Structure 1
């Protein structure tokens, strides 16, 4: 993620360990954002154990994924 875009994310959100990577995948004929852990395994939106700190997600965002996401 470009440094400029990173700075646009509020510090309060960056401090929370609620981040995932995501890929666009086709599910049932529709393009869907699928969340992933930094390990490459799928993340679960209802399982905090599969989420990561912002700094880890940024470190692993090297083009293999389509973006990063915040889990509410």
Structure 2
């Protein structure tokens, strides 16, 4: 039988799980800093979102014109 620790997991699993959790946490913090700190990247990101939204609206209009309601 496998020896189990207090959580009931096999011995090596908890360490690997905590390592992945730390990596995800650090990545989330870095992403939040990049997105929310004012500066060039934030401006570029907002421009990218705006451009994408505009292109989707334009394409929707083209689709509606190509396939009118029956």
TM-score (norm 1): 0.19
Bigger RCO of structures 1 and 2 (CA < 8 A, at least 6 apart): 1
Q: Which has the higher helix share?
A: 2
In the superposition, the TM-score normalised over structure 2's length comes to: 0.19
Structure showing the higher strand proportion among its residues: 1
